[in-house]
Amino acid sequence: MKAVLEIENLATVLHTGSLPVRAVDGLSLNILQGETFALLGESGCGKSMTALSIMRLLPDVGEIVTGQIKIHGVDLLQLPEAAMRKVRGKQISMIFQEPMLSLNPVLTIAEQIGEVLRQHLSLPPAYQQARIQELLEQVGIPDAQRRMHEYPFQFSGGMKQRAMIAMALAGEPELLIADEPTTALDVTIQAQVLDLMRQIQQRTRMSILLITHDLGVVAEMAQRVAVMYAGEIVELAPRADFFQQPAHPYSQQLFASLPGKHKRDQALTVMNGNVPSLSQQFSGCRFADRCNQVMAICRDRVPPWHRFSDDHRVRCHLYQPGTTHAIPAVIAIGEQKVQSEASRTDETLLNVADLSVHFPIRKGLFKRVVGHIKAVDGVSLRIASGKTLALVGESGCGKTTIGKSILQLIQPTAGSVRFKGQELVGLKRSQLKPIRSQFQIIFQDPYSSLNPRMRIKEILQEGMSALKVGAVSGSSNDEYSNVNSREREIDSLLQRVGLPAELKWRYPHEFSGGQRQRIAIARALAVNPKLLICDEPTSALDVSVQAQILNLLKTLQNDLGLAFLFITHNIAVVEYLADEVAVMYLGRIVERGQIDEVMRNPRHPYTQALLSSVPQISADASRQFVPLKGDLPSPATPPVGCHFHPRCEKAMAVCRERYPSASSFSATHSAHCYLYSSEQIS
Amino acid sequence: MPFSPIILWTDTLIYLFVITIFFWVWYVRRNEHLLMPWKRVGHSASGMSALTVLLFFLVVGLLDTVHFRPALEHKNNKGETIYSVEVLSLLDLILTPLRTNIEKTYSAPLATHLYAKETIELPDGEKVRAFARLEFGGAHLRDPEKEHFSDILERIFKGLAYGFLAWFGIAFFLIVFLSRRHQQNFAQSISAIWRRTGEIPWYAILITLLILLLLIGCSAMLATHYHVLGTDKVGQDVLYQSLKSIRIALVIGTLTTLIMLPFALLLGIMAGYFQGWVDDVIQYIYTTLNSIPSVLLIAAAVLMMQVYIETHAELFETVASRADLRLLFLCMILGVTSWTSLCRLLRGEALKLREMEYIQAAHAFGVSHWRIISRHILPNVMHIVLIATVMDFSGLVLAEAVLSYVGVGVDPSMISFGTMINAARLEMAREPMVWWALLAAFGFMFTLVLSANLFADAVQNALDPRTRTLKLSSRFFQRHGKSEVPPNKTPDVMTATGFPHSK
């Protein structure tokens, strides 16, 4: 088959800082017509820089120092900038990760797509409008004729990404570069967008260069996979080979660090450390420091390519004739069993009943209340001490609001939150203070959750001094010994989360994302809480770092008997960590139960759709995909009756009238759906 | 006693300010983690050059702050020393020739004759219209036409030589000091400075110092016999006026800022942080204040104050103390009316910051509002405060000029950049034009504001823990710039890519 894109020995250097950073270092690949080629790797491996090098859209500090990028045999790097403009959008086009940031908010969708058409195809104006409408219909935007004249803010996240794809397709490109196209989207929307990309590819026979860090997406989409590590490709394989028998230790360890159901009672395999800094000179294998099968030779010599077959190549010393390693079937390290049966009682720690949080919508001169956004609308939860309850749902369904209103960071509108039998709702700030230390929160974004102007020591100390934890009340003579014990406390906290104690003198910006998340955990632990609310603590992290954090959380739960309210949209993490699950849709819990009950036998149609939308690595024939139509409705005007009925395939007449009450399947498993309701029959 | 010391109101505040700074420096030096960022300020070439220039201005300003009344030669009938009603400063003492050499009217820089023709009576009784000789400028020349140029050149060269000598002396002591400190020998220290290997950019500092000293040397040599920057309408030396204006500018810039900052910081952060009715009240206050044209508001306040001062003449011993109180009130009035823009900026920033997760986390710990404001929000808005105040600094000096124009600025007996610029308004309309007064005021103000800006920029960069000390721009200044590019680089490919590789 003909190759559309051939990259030969590409090297891109970024001149930030004192040393040049070799973001891409000697990368070669080719993409055939009509295939989807996935570039897989953690952040900081140079994936996006590869894409920008192909488009020649590098930032000012970037420079391509060597290499060839040929599209149909024409070297793009030799073209003048004017000719390059004819390539971008016409031969190669690109979609970006953040649909919110890649559309211009002051131009309508039609104007933005029209821009591409004018640049590349000289269409008569009348036909141009028709073409824009056709493109938008092609990407599945309903009522395209009207909506094409709307502005980006009137589109939802998934719709914006569809519009981006329509724009990328406008020039009928031969190659589409998709840089993390679904990372910012929910799983249900991700499934829709991935499905759309597959359909379009079948129709137009274009090639796709898919850049992602998500193994699931690769498994669903790609024909061939290249694994990128520290600026170079370390493994190149067809999908089937790659998922059956990953050859490079990095690929193997990536698989091993994925959380999942079958790994519940063991610690995840952890890759130590981070992607190395690309400004250094490498003398051996770049992965050597994190590799679990490292040999002496790895640190001295750069590994050459080893071919298993024409398509499957790997850059590793393991497969060289001189070495006696076979491909290890299972990686044997890091599987020490985590005792999951620590002392767990069934004592109720937190009891939330009919919790509602309504935000008023104000309008007009006098800020009259014209409506409410019902972010949380009558939610009841119960967490036993030492247990993990996972709260699952799409973004915008009110998960985070629940977490914050339990902590009384947001004042609930109605309902009760009882912690160890004590009512929290309605307490004053000063009344809350004595029990504040019992429950703490860990946030999603490790970059905004630590004050950049405070040192780690001060960050950790803040909660302790505010809540007077560990302080000996009384005479001021103890001040000195008190300070001393604080210091020791901080040291041991840092050690507990796996950081050396010397780091307490540093500022947060000197740490990587995973390390910052550890510090955030240490900060919460500083006041000895019984309940930790984890608000998507791993969603901003790479797979390998996510594994480290999950292991840490699990160890902490076992050692300290912590209870977690784990707010997430990542089903794999839920399967790995949670004891119970509550599935949330539009401010209400639609299904709840023990982890096995819900995951094996989801009852509510929304749960079923959510679970089936998660990209799976193991091709499972029995798995059936339940596509979800449309987007999450606005919580300001939730649909009448069952909130889910406009998107539900099994919707009945009664669903449009009243909200269903709970139907129980076992003592713990229940769902709000008329499919199982006795009322419906009567 | 040959003099009687006088401490005016603004002097007190300046002394207090200086003492606070000393204590603060002492405190910072004892705390390693506070000292570190300030050491980084010392690594910025532009910042340290700006500081050198700023120090010159500060020294002039401080010299001008030490006030006293000299004793008169005769004594009163009880035998007590009588002190002059004229209040002088150390700077006046140093600049005595400039202060006392007053010509009749305008004269151009370095001129020997007046700028306008006047009727001169010749010894034989005849009257001619001609440019009269200056009383002091070039008075030592017998034949100005022939000797003028060569005399100036000679003095310039002498001045350059003295300046260079002074620089050489300072550089010598600096190098000796550095060698002691780093335990190197003399040559090693020189080469360290020359090759710019040290962390502190002595190279840049020494160059700035050399330029400064050469300028001072030239002016000093010329000023004894000429008016370096000419004279104004009443024949006062413009260089003297400019140097005297520095103190007023510094006082207005710093005191007003100090008065304004508490309002802006407290109200701005409170509005953004507490929201609700607190926000409403503060917003109403500053919108109301903003809706009144500020010049009118200030004029009204100044006029009220002026009436008070004039009806209570007995409160003031000297003209200087009256003028000084007026200046102090002017600073206060400017401060009370100019906090609104910074307040609005800070409100917006606090609105953003209060939603940050680290502040949510602090709430979860039950940290008090006051602590959240002081520990979390305040340090994170400091960069805005720093930039805004330095920007305001030049604005305030200009505001003073505008107010002097309306007639409500500093006391007419005080010399400030504002009064100079105000006077220049008429001079620019003259034919031939009198340009030097405006140029002098502009040049001094420009240097002052620019160096303050550059220094503030360096401080802001250094104090932000997120900024790395090595920035992209530093590559331009590296002597051994791009030797780090990978060896396999082929130049022809690079040019073919069409990227701006100079970046």
Q: What is the 3-state secondary structure (H, E, C) of B471-484?
A: CCCHHHHCCCCCCC
CB contact under 8 A, A63 and B465: no
Give yes or no for B384 touching A (CB within 8 A).
no
A453, A464, A465, A505: best mutation site toward chain B, by most B Cβ within 10 Å?
A: A453
Percentages helix, strand, coil for chain A (3-state, rounded to 5) are 35, 25, 40
Residue A8 CA to chain centroid, in angstroms? 32
Contact A65 B486 (CB under 8 A): yes
Least confident of A472-486, B61-75, B339-353: A472-486
B493 interfaces chain A, CB cutoff of 8 Å: yes
Q: What number of residues does chain B have?
A: 503
Sequence-separated (6 or more) residues with CB below 8 Å from residue A458: none
CB atoms within 10 A of CB A560: 15
Q: Is B36 on the interface with A (CB under 8 A)?
A: no
Chain A: nearest CA to B232, how far in angstroms?
Answer: 52
Asked if A61 lies within 8 A of B371 by C-beta distance, the reply is no
**CB neighbour list of residue A464: distance below 8 Å, 6 or more residues apart:** A470, A471, A486, A489, A526, A527
Minimal CA separation from B478 to chain A, in Å: 10
In whole angstroms, give the CA distance from residue A31 to residue B476: 40
C-beta separation of B419 from B412 below 8 A: yes
B488 CB near a chain A CB, below 8 Å? yes
C-alpha closest to that of B241 among B12, B426, B423:
B423
In terms of pLDDT, which residue wins out, B78 or B351?
B351
Between strands A224-229 and A580-585, the pairing is: unpaired
Q: What pLDDT does A31 receive?
A: 92
User: What are the strands, taking DSSP E only, across B59-184?
Assistant: 67-75, 81-83, 88-89, 113-121, 127-133
- Angle between the B378-406 and B294-311 helix axes, to the nearest 10 degrees? 70
- The secondary element (H helix, E strand) that includes residue B289 is helix B276-291
Tokens of B82: 């009588």
Classify strands A563-568 and A580-585 as parallel, antiparallel or unpaired: unpaired
Do the chains contact at B358 and A409, CB–CB below 8 Å? no
Q: Quote the pTM value.
A: 0.80
- A466–B472 CB contact, under 8 Å: no
Q: How far is A523 from chain B (nearest CA, A)?
A: 9
Number of residues that make up chain A: 682
- Spell A394-415 as b/e; 16+ CB within 10 A means b: bbbbbbbbbbbbbbbbbebbeb
Residues B374-409: pLDDT tens digits? Answer: 989 998 898 888 878 877 877 887 788 788 877 788
pLDDT of res. A679: 54
The H or E element containing residue A389 is strand A388-392
Per-residue pLDDT of B249-287, as tens digits, reads: 889 888 898 889 999 999 999 999 998 899 999 999 999
At residue A678, the pLDDT reads 66
Cβ A467–B362 below 8 Å, yes or no?
no
pLDDT of residue A343: 47
From CA A652, how far away is CA A650, in angstroms rounded?
Answer: 6
Inter-CA distances, A371 with A358, A366, A398, A427, A588, Å = 9, 14, 17, 26, 18
Query: In angstroms, what separates the C-alpha of A377 from chain B's closest C-alpha?
Result: 23
Nearest CA in chain A to B32: A505
For A405, the closest chain B residue by CA position comes to B364
Restricting to A residues 44-63, those with a Cβ less than 8 Å away from any Cβ of B are: 56, 58, 60-63
As a whole number of angstroms, the distance between CA A229 and CA A47 comes to 9
Task: Using the predicted structure, report yes or no on whether residue B494 has a pLDDT greater than 50.
Answer: no
What is the C-alpha to C-alpha distance for residues A537 and A552, in angstroms, rounded to an integer?
Answer: 12
Low-confidence ranges of chain A (pLDDT < 70): 1, 322-346, 470-481, 618-624, 678-682
Are B244 and B91 in contact by the 8 Å Cβ rule? The answer is yes
B-interface mutation test, from A451, A458, A505, most B Cβ less than 10 A away:
A451
Name the most confidently modeled range: A53-57, A433-437, B84-88, B424-428: A53-57
Distance from CA of B495 to the nearest CA of A (A): 9
- Pick the residue from chain B with its C-alpha nearest to A505: B33
Q: Which residues of B touch A13 (CB under 8 A)?
A: 485-486
Provide the CA A64 distance to its chain's centre, in angstroms.
Answer: 30
Phi, psi angles (nearest 5°) of residue A339: -70, 110
Q: Give the pLDDT confidence score for residue B389 in this predicted structure.
A: 82
- Name the residue facing A407 among B364, B380, B498 (closest C-beta): B364
| C-beta of residue B273 within 8 angstroms of C-beta of residue B345 | no
pLDDT digits over A115-164, tens only?
889 888 888 888 899 999 989 988 888 888 888 899 988 888 788 888 99
Q: Is the ipTM of this complex over 0.90?
A: no
CB B190 within 8 A of CB B177: no
What secondary structure, in 3-state letters, does B358-398 show? HHHHHHHCCCCHHHHHHHHHHHHHHHHHHHHHHHHHHHHHH
A429 touches chain B (CB under 8 A): yes
